[in-house]
Chains A and B, each alone.
Chain A
Amino acid sequence: MWKKVGEREVGKISPYSFANRIRSNRISSLDLSNYKEIVSVHRGAINSLQVGDWAGPPVEVQMGGREGLEMSCMGEGCLVAGQVDLTEGRYLLSAASDGSAAVYDVQCAAKYEGGGLVAKHECLFVVDKQHEHGHKYSVSSAIWYPIDTGLFITGSYDHYVNVWDTNTTQVVVNFKMPGKVYQTAMSPIAKSHMLIAAGTEDVQVRLCDIASGAFTHTLSGHRDGVMTVEWSTSSEWVLATGGCDGAIRFWDIRRAGCFLVLDQSRSQLGKRPPFLERSSSKGSASKPFQAGQSSNVKVKIPLKKTTNGNSTKQTPNISRVPRQTKGWHRPHPGMMSSHDRATAHYGAVIGLKVTADGMYLLSAGSDSRLKLWDIESGCNTLVNYEATRLQTSKPIQLAITQDSSLVFLPCMTAIKAFNVWSGKTFRTFRGHYESVNCCWFSSQDQELYTGSNDRQILVWSPPKSVHREVDEKFGEGQMSTSDQDNWSD
Chain B
Amino acid sequence: MEESEREGREKVSSLIDKATNSTDPEIETRLLKAIKLVVRSSDSELRLAVETLMEKMKKDHSQVRYLTLLIIDELFMRSKLFRSLLVVNFDQFLSLSIGFRRNLPLPAPLAVASRLRTKAIEYLEKWNTSFGIHYRQLRLGYGYLKDTLRFQFPNLQQHAARAQRDRNEREARSKEILLKKFETLRENFLSIKNEVQSTIDEIGECLEILKTEEDGFIPLDSVDDDDVEDFRPSALQKIRLESLNEGEKICEDSDNKVVFDALRELHKLLVNKHLVIVQEWMSVLVRVEATDTRFRDSSLKEFIDIRNRLRLVKTKCEQTGCSLTNPKDRDDDDMWEECKIDMVANGSCSAPNPPSENLVITSTLSKVKNITPVKIETSNGTTATEGFDGTTSVKSKLLAEAPIHNWGSYLDNWGNNRDFLANQRGLELENHWGRVDSDAVIPAERIAELNVQATLYKEEPVEVQPCLAPLKKGGLCQRKDLRVCPFHGPIIPRDPEGKAIDQGPTEEKTIDLEAGVTEQLAKRAVKNVREREREDLKQRENDKKNLKRAKLAKVREHNEKVLRQSAIASTSQSEVMGEDWASVGGNGSHGKEKKQTLASMLRKKVKPKDRITQKLLSARVRDATTRQLAMGADAKYREAYPNQW
Contacts and interface: CB of A to CB of B under 8 A. Distances in A.
Contacts of B92: 430
Interface string B56-80: 0000000000000000000001111
Contacts of B11: none
A456 B140 contact: yes
Contact of B136 (A33, A455, A479, A485): A33
Contacts of A431: 91, 136-137, 140
Contacts of B133: 113-114, 117-118, 479, 482
B440 interface: no
B36 A34 contact: no
Contacts of A458: 136, 140
Contacts of B131: 482-483
Contact of A32 (B40, B79, B137): B137
Interface in A99-127: 113-114, 117-118
Nearest to A414: B91
B40 A484 contact: no
A454 B143 CA distance: 10
Contact of A485 (B79, B143, B144): B79
B141 interface: yes
A473 B131 CA distance: 18
Contacts of B77: 486
Interface string B84-97: 00001111101000
Contacts of B135: 34
Nearest to B37: A489
Interface residues of A, number: 26
B80 A485 contact: yes
B80 A484 contact: yes
A433 B91 contact: yes
B247 to A, nearest CB: 78
B148 A454 contact: yes
Contact of B33 (A33, A433, A479, A489): A489
Contact of B89 (A113, A117, A430, A484): A430
A454 B78 CA distance: 30
Nearest to B82: A485
A37 B33 CA distance: 38
Interface in A109-161: 113-114, 117-118
A37 B144 contact: no
A488 interface: yes
A483 B80 contact: yes
Contacts of B88: 430
B134 interface: yes
Interface in A442-485: 454-456, 458, 479, 482-485
A483 B136 CA distance: 13
A456 B142 CA distance: 13
B598 to A, nearest CB: 28
A456 B143 CA distance: 10
A433 B40 contact: no
Interface string A9-42: 0000000000000000000000011100100000
A423 B290 CA distance: 80
A482 B129 CA distance: 11
Interface residues of B, number: 29
Contacts of B393: none
A433 B137 contact: no
B136 to A, nearest CB: 5
Interface in B86-118: 88-92, 94
A435 interface: no
A482 to B, nearest CB: 7
B409 interface: no
A483 B79 CA distance: 9
Contacts of A113: 133
A487 interface: yes
B134 A487 contact: no
Given A32-B137, A482-B130, A488 B78 contact: yes
Given A34-B135, A113-B133, A413-B91, A487 B36 contact: yes
A34 B134 contact: yes
A160 to B, nearest CB: 28
Contacts of B83: 483
Nearest to B75: A487
A204 to B, nearest CB: 37
A34 B140 CA distance: 11
Contacts of A206: none
A109 to B, nearest CB: 15
A330 B619 CA distance: 80
A432 interface: yes
B472 to A, nearest CB: 44
A487 B40 CA distance: 8
Nearest to A117: B133
Nearest to A459: B136
A32 B136 contact: yes
Given A34-B135, A484-B80, A489-B36, A433 B148 contact: yes
A486 B78 contact: yes
Contact of A34 (B94, B130, B136): B136
Interface in A30-60: 32-34, 37
A484 B130 CA distance: 11
The 9 closest A-B pairs by CB, nearest first: A114-B133, A483-B134, A433-B144, A34-B136, A486-B78, A32-B136, A485-B80, A487-B78, A485-B79
Interface of B: 33, 36-37, 40, 77-81, 83, 88-92, 94, 130-131, 133-137, 140-141, 143-144, 147-148
Given A456-B143, A483-B134, 13 more contacts: A430-B89, A430-B90, A430-B92, A431-B136, A431-B140, A433-B94, A482-B131, A483-B80, A483-B131, A484-B80, A485-B79, A485-B81, A489-B37
30 contacts: A32-B136, A33-B136, A34-B134, A34-B135, A114-B133, A117-B133, A117-B134, A413-B91, A430-B89, A430-B91, A432-B91, A433-B94, A433-B141, A433-B144, A433-B148, A454-B148, A479-B133, A482-B131, A483-B80, A483-B83, A483-B131, A483-B134, A484-B80, A485-B78, A485-B79, A485-B80, A486-B78, A487-B36, A487-B40, A487-B79
Interface of A: 32-34, 37, 113-114, 117-118, 413, 430-433, 454-456, 458, 479, 482-489
